[in-house]
Structure 1
Amino acid sequence: MNPAVRSGSCPPSVDFDPYSPELTEPGVWDAYAAAHAAGPAVRSERRGGFWMLTRYDDVRTALRDPQTFSSASGHRIPTDGTQRAIPIDFDPPLHTAYRRLMTGALSPARVREMKPFLERTVGDLVDRFVTAGGGDFVREVALPLPLLVLTELVGFDPTTVRQFREVTEQMWAGLADHEEEVDFTAARTRIYELMKAEIVAHRAGGRAGFVTELLDAEIDGRRLDDEEMISILATFAVAGHETTMNSASTLVHLLVTEPGQQDRLRANPELAPRYVEEMLRHRSPAQNFARRTTCPVSVGGQDIAEGEAVLLSFAAANRDPERFPDPNRFDPDRDARGHLGFGWGIHQCMGAALARSELAILLARLCAHPPIVAAGEVRWSSLQGGNHLGPTTLPVRFEPQRDEKG
C-alpha cells in the first residue's frame, strides 16, 4: 500500500483500502506514513474512490466544518447514504437534537456519580484476573468492562448485556482465529434485535434508566419512533464498548512491550491520565471517519470537487510530525492535548469523559498488583469497519514480586 505519486495534473494517489486485512499492527502505521508523505490530500480509487486527509491541521479543520464536510452520507467508505447511525450519520440541526438527547447519560456530572461503580467494577475484574494468574486480557477484562458499564449507564438488562457479549465474543473469536469471513451483518442484526427487546421491556415494565427516558423523548415536538430509539441504543451498545475495549487492551499491550514505562507508572500511578492521553494519540483506537463534500473545497492546494467522499484519518493526523514531534514514540511526558483520539468538533465522542475515567481507574488498579508480562502471542484486528483497531488476543501473566535484596 505504498503511494504512487502521479505526475501532471493528476492528484497524488495511494493504494489505500481501509478494509484491507493488511492494515493491522505494525504495518498500518507505514501505510499512514506513506499517505502522509504523498501529499496533503491524496486519492485512492478503492471502494468507489475517495480522498484521504492525513495532516493534523487539515483533518481538524474538516472536522470543524460540517457545512462543507457532511456526515449525512455516512461515516464509513463508501459514503453512499445507506448508513444512518444516530447521531454520527446526521448533520445539524437533526444531529444537534439527537445528540442533546444522548449527552445527558454521559455528562461530566453523571461520570462523577458513576466513579464508585467504576472503581468497584474495575477492581472486581482485575482482582479476579490476578487471582487466576492472568490469561487473555481482552476476553477477561477489556471486553466485559465496557459491557458492565453499559448496564449501569444506559439501564440495559443484565440478560441483554450477556447476550450482547455473546454476539461480540463470537465475532471476536472469528477474528482471533483469522477467519476470512466474519458475519458482521448478522451480528449487527442481532444487536438491533436486542435493542428492540429492551424498548419493549421498558415500555411494559416502566423501569428507570436512559431507555425509559427515550420512550418520552421528543424532537421538534414529536416522539421518537422505534427505529430512532433502536439506532440510538445501538450506538451506545457498539460505540460504548468497542473503543473502550480496544483502548484498554492497547494500554496493557504498551505496558507489556515497554517495561520501563510500566515501572514508572507503577511507581507513580497518578500519571495514569497522561498514559491514557498518549495512548489515544499514539494508537488511536478509532482511526478513520468519512465525510462527503457539499461544495468545492481546496485542501493543501489540492482541489476537491463537490460530492466527493473524503476519509479523515485521525490516526495519521495524530502522528503528524508537524504537530507531534517524534510521533512514533510513546511518550507520556509529551503535551498530547489536542489529539484527535476522540475526534473534534460537533461529532466529538460523547463518551470521552467516561472512557478517560474507566481507563485511568484501570491503570491505577493494575499498578496495585505485580508487573504484567507477555504470556503468548498478541494478535491484532485489522481495521474493523475501516476504523477500529485493537488486540483480539492479549495473553499476559503477573510476574512474581522480587525481593529488592535478592
Structure 2
Amino acid sequence: MTIDLDPYDPALTEPSVWDAYAAARAAGPVARSGRRGGFWVLTGYDDVRAVLRDPQTFSSASGHRIPTDGTQRSIPIDYDPPRHTAYRRLMGPPLSTARVRQMRPFLERTIADLVGGFAARGSGDFVREVALPLPLAVLTELVGFAPDTVDRFREVTEEVWSGLGADGEAVDFAGAFRRISELMAAELDAHRAHGADDFVTTLLSAEVGEEERISILATFAVAGHETTMNAASTLVALLLEDPARQDRLRADPSLARGFVEEMLRHRSPAQNFARRATCPVTVAGQAVEEGDAVLLSFAAANRDPARFADPDRFDPGRDVSGHLGFGWGIHMCPGAALARAELTILLTTLVGHPPLRLAGEVRWSGLQGGNHLGPTTLPVRFEG
C-alpha cells in the first residue's frame, strides 16, 4: 500500500501529524511513500522495535533522516558498530547516571531560578522563558560550552532546520549544518587557547580527528537543547489542556515521573528515524530490498493500539514501560537519564507555584528536520 507521507511537509504539525500517522497505520504495518526518493514507513510498535534491535540488517550509516543518501554524518547516530560503539563510549561520561546524580543540585537550582523568576513576572512565553534557557544552561555545565556559544544555539539550529527540505525535494544536509560546525570549531579553538576542566577539553585529547570533535559537539549542541526544549514545552502544554492534571500533581508531586513518561509516549518529541536495509529482508510480510530506506515512526509506534490501550488518550497512570520516546537498542538516546531528571524536577517545581493557565494561542512547529516536534510559542500566566 502506498501513502503520501513527506516528513518535511509543514502541514505535519499538531494535531494533523497524528492523523497522518493513523493513515499510515491504516495502510498497513509497512507502507510505501514515493517522496524523497521513496521509502518504507513502519508504524507498528513490535516492528519498529524489532528493527531497532537489528542494526546489522538495518544500518544507520547512510543517515538517520530521509533521504538516506549518506550525506549526513552526525556522531554517533549515523554510524554502525564498531565506530558507533567507540563514539558512544567517548560521549558517555557526561551523560552517565552518576554524572546526572552529581548534577542534580545544579538542576534544582537552575530550574528553581528560571521558574521562580518567570512566576514573579506573572506571565509570558514558556518556551522562551523556561523551556529554551533550561537546556542551554545545562549544556554549559555538562559539556563546557561558553555562555556566548549557547546563546547562539537556537538561532543556528533554526537555520539548520530551515535548510532541510525547504526547497521542494532538495535537502542540503551539508549546507544546513555548516553554521553549527563553524560554531563548534570556534569553541574547540577557544578551549585550546584557554583550557578548562570540562568535556570539551577532554575531547581535545581524545584520539579522534577534528571533524569528529566538531560532529560530537554539534550532537550535544542540537540534541542537547532541541529535544529537551520541545519535551518541556509539550509537558506544560499537556498540563494546560486539562487543569485537573495540575491539580493531581499539586496533590501528589510524586506523580511527576509518570506524567513525564506518558508525555514521551503520547507526544514523542523525537518522532521519526531512518535506516537502510543492508540485505533483502521481510518486515511484517513485506519484502524490503537491499538498499531500501526505512522510516521508523517512533511517534506512531507509541500510539499503536496493539501495544497501548486507547493510545490517543493521555493517561499518566498507565503502564508505559518499553515506550519508544527515547528509542531502543544501541541508538537509544544517551541523554535519557538527564532528560528525565530535568523534566521531573521541572514539573515538581512548577506545581510549587500558582497554577498555570493558557494566555493565548499555542503555536507548534512542523517536524523540524523531519523529526522534532514541539510548541514554538506557549503563552501562559500564573493564577493568583
TM bucket normalised to smaller: over 0.9
- Any conservation in 2 of the 1:295–1:306 contact (CA below 8 Å)? yes
- Residues 171, 128 of structure 1: CA spacing in aligned structure 2 closer, same or farther, 3 A cutoff? farther
- Structure 1 position 202, deviation (Å): 1.2
- Counterpart contact for 2:62–2:68, Cα < 8 Å: yes
Question: Structure 1 counterpart of 2:233, which letter?
Answer: S
Query: 1:386-397, aligned counterparts within 5 Å?
Result: 386-397=370-381
Residue of structure 2 in register with 1:325 after alignment: 309
5+ unaligned residues in a row in structure 1: which ranges?
Answer: 1-11, 218-222, 401-406
1:2-55 C-alpha deviation (Å, 9 max, x unpaired): xxxxxxxxxx11111100011001010011011111111110000100000000
From 322, 327, 336, give the equivalent of 2:320. 336
Asked if residue 118 in structure 1 is aligned to residue 117 in structure 2, the reply is no
Does residue 274 in structure 1 map to residue 258 in structure 2? Answer: yes
Contact 1:15 1:46 in 2 (8 A): yes
**Alpha-carbon deviation of 1:190?**
2.4
Does residue 136 (structure 1) correspond to residue 131 (structure 2)? The answer is no
SS where residue 311 of structure 1 aligns?
A: strand
Name the residue aligned to 2:41: 52
Q: Within 5 A, what are the aligned runs for 1:16-95? A: 16-95=5-84
Match of 2:369 in 1: 385
Partners of 2:77 and 2:139 in 1: CA distance? 19
Could you report, residue by residue, the CA deviation over 1:74-113 in whole angstroms, capped at 9, with x for unpaired residues? 0000000001000000000000001100011100000000
Distance across 2 between alignment mates of 1:109 and 1:273? 19
Moved over 3 A (4+): 165-172, 183-188
Shifted more, 272-281 versus 162-171: the winner is: 162-171
Aligned residue for 2:358?
374
Shift of the 60–156 alpha-carbon distance from structure 1 to 2, 3 Å rule, reads same
1:186, distance to aligned residue in structure 2 (A): 6.7
Q: Deviations over 1:356-405 (max 9, x none)?
A: 000000000000011111000000001011100000000000111xxxxx
Q: Could you tell me whether the CA contact under 8 Å between 1:247 and 1:280 is conserved in 2?
A: yes
Which 10-residue stretch deviates more, 295-304 or 62-71? 295-304
Q: 1-side partners of 2:315 and 2:38: how far apart?
A: 36
Matches of 1:170 and 1:78, distance apart in 2: 19
1:157 deviates by 1.2
Aligned-partner Cα distance in 2 for 1:313–1:169: 23
Q: Which amino acid aligns with 1:80?
A: D
Q: Is the 8 A contact 1:147 1:165 kept in 2?
A: no
- Does the alignment pair 1:197 with 2:186? yes
Deviations 1:329-362 (A, max 9, x none): 0001100110000000000000000000000000
CA-to-aligned-CA distance 1:105-146 (integer Å, 9 cap, x gap): 100000000000000010111011101112000111101110
Distance 1:259 1:141, change over 3 A: same
Report how many aligned residue pairs link the two structures. 380
Q: Which residue of structure 1 lines up, in the alignment, with residue 283 of structure 2? A: 299
User: Given that residues 153 and 222 in structure 2 are in contact (C-alpha distance below 8 angstroms), is that contact kept between their aligned partners in structure 1?
Assistant: no
Would the aligned equivalents of 1:73 and 1:291 in 2 still touch at CA under 8 Å? yes
Which whole-Å CA distance do the structure 2 matches of 1:305 and 1:187 have between them? 30
Does structure 2 conserve the Cα–Cα contact (< 8 Å) formed by 1:144 and 1:165?
no
1:229 match: 213
TM-superposed CA distance for 1:164, in Å, is 2.4
Provide the C-alpha distance between the structure 1 equivalents of 2:134 and 2:272, rounded to a whole number of angstroms. Answer: 24
Q: Output aligned runs, 1:243-282, within 5 Å.
A: 243-282=227-266
Report the AA paired with residue 206 of structure 1: G
Which one of the candidate residues 190, 212, 216 is aligned to 2:205? 216
Secondary structure, in 3 states, of the residue corresponding to 2:2? Answer: coil
Instruction: Tell me the residue number matched to 1:364.
Output: 348
TM-score, length basis structure 1: 0.90
- Aligned letter for 1:56? Y
Q: Which position in structure 2 is the counterpart of 1:354?
A: 338
Structure having the higher Rg: 1
- Asked if the contact 1:167–1:187 (Cα under 8 Å) also holds between the matched residues in 2, the reply is no
Distance verdict in 2 for CA 1:141–1:180, change over 3 Å: farther
Task: Note closer, same or farther for the CA distance 1:170–1:386 as it changes in structure 2 (3 Å cut).
Answer: closer
Secondary structure of 1:247's counterpart equals helix
Q: CA RMSD in A?
A: 2.0
Contact 1:142-1:249 at 8 Å conserved across structures: yes
Deviations 1:141-161 (A, max 9, x none): 101110100000001111211
Does residue 399 in structure 1 map to residue 383 in structure 2? yes
Select which of 151, 158, 166 maps to 1:162.
151
Q: Could you tell me which residue of structure 2 aligns to residue 107 of structure 1?
A: 96
Evaluate the alpha carbon distance shift between residue 240 and residue 277 of structure 1 in structure 2; reply closer, same or farther with a 3 A threshold.
same
Q: Distance in 1 between matches of 2:56 and 2:160?
A: 36
Distance 2:35 2:152 in 1: 36
Structure 1 position 196, deviation (Å): 0.6
Distance in 2 (CA, whole Å) between partners of 1:184 and 1:381 is 20
Aligned to 1:387, the other structure's residue is in SS state: coil
**CA deviation map 1:146-197 (0-9, x unaligned):** 010000000111121123244357889x99xxx999x997773222112111
Q: Distance in 1 between matches of 2:257 and 2:167?
A: 37
* Structure 1 equivalent of residue 300 of structure 2: 316
Q: How does 1:3-22 map to 2 (within 5 A)?
A: 12-22=1-11
Identity of aligned residues (%): 73
Q: Show structure 2 runs of 5+ residues with no match.
A: none
Q: Distance in 1 between matches of 2:2 and 2:159?
A: 37
| Aligned residue number for residue 6 of structure 1 | none
